């Protein structure tokens, strides 16, 4: 037991030692424990929340949801702009882009937007909070919980070790998807009379699937070339994107393929 604890301690010390020193003093980045604390609190809420709401009426968060989703649209626009402009100014390659760990202004600017992207994943935990308090428990699916909880881990590691480099591509693409997605949610939150303008939900899901296929292709290419980017992160991103294709593909089939089949009968 003592030997196992020692090995874990040594591994933890090594993880901290090899991390990017530029981000050490940034909010939530010194150690993994604050981020893990958010995830733990998230799962506790998932267990307690529905029980607390069982005999209560659902909350009406309509004005809050409009503001919240509009804020996430604005944040996603800002992050997309920063990823795109910074990568363009720094002459990033879409084929192979190592991480620039220097204190060059563009390198730090890229690291900064990576941190904002990580922090946005924590903000987005509120999605689940609103679902539970509105008694929309059917929306709290395995896909929903898996994605929201794992993205915090993924991007804490991303900022801590690879704040920049070719990881910018998947974050930038996802910010674009989020602009579309939170625009949809914002309009939907305004009221039922907006539904006639929201016929494009199916295509939004297709866009979400497209981003994961793009990440698989982009990362897969880098896994087969001699690119000075940590190969372990390439494998992790590749496998994560595959898992999202499976889960989103299953969601798409259940949500739209079956409905299309019923209309044809």
- Cite the active site residues: 147
38: phi > 0 → left, psi -120 to 50 → alpha, else beta; which? Answer: alpha
> Can you read off the two tokens belonging to residue 233?
């992160």
């Amino acid at each position: 037991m003592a030997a196992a604890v020692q090995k874990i301690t040594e591994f933890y010390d090594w993880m901290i030692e090899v991390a990017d020193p530029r981000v050490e003093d940034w909010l939530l980045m010194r150690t993994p424990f604050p981020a893990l604390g958010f995830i733990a609190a998230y799962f506790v809420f998932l267990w307690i929340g529905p029980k607390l709401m069982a005999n209560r009426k659902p909350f009406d968060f309509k004005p809050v949801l409009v503001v919240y989703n509009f804020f996430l649209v604005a944040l996603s626009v800002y992050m997309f702009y920063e990823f795109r402009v910074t990568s363009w100014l720094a002459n990033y390659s879409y084929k192979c882009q190592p991480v620039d760990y220097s204190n060059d202004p563009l390198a730090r600017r890229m690291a900064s937007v990576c941190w904002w992207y990580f922090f946005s994943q924590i903000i987005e935990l509120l999605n689940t909070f609103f679902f539970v308090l509105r008694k929309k428990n059917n929306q709290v699916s395995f896909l929903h919980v898996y994605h929201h909880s794992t993205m915090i881990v993924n991007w804490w590691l991303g900022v801590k070790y690879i704040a920049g480099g070719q990881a910018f591509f998947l974050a930038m693409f996802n910010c674009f998807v989020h602009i579309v997605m939170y625009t949809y949610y914002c309009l939907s939150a305004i009221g039922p009379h907006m539904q006639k303008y929201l016929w494009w939900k199916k295509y939004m899901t297709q866009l979400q699937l497209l981003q994961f296929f793009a990440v698989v292709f982009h990362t897969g290419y880098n896994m087969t070339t001699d690119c000075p980017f940590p190969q372990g992160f390439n494998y992790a991103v590749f496998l994560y994107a595959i898992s999202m294709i499976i889960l989103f593909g299953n969601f798409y089939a259940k949500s739209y393929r079956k409905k299309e089949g019923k209309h044809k009968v």
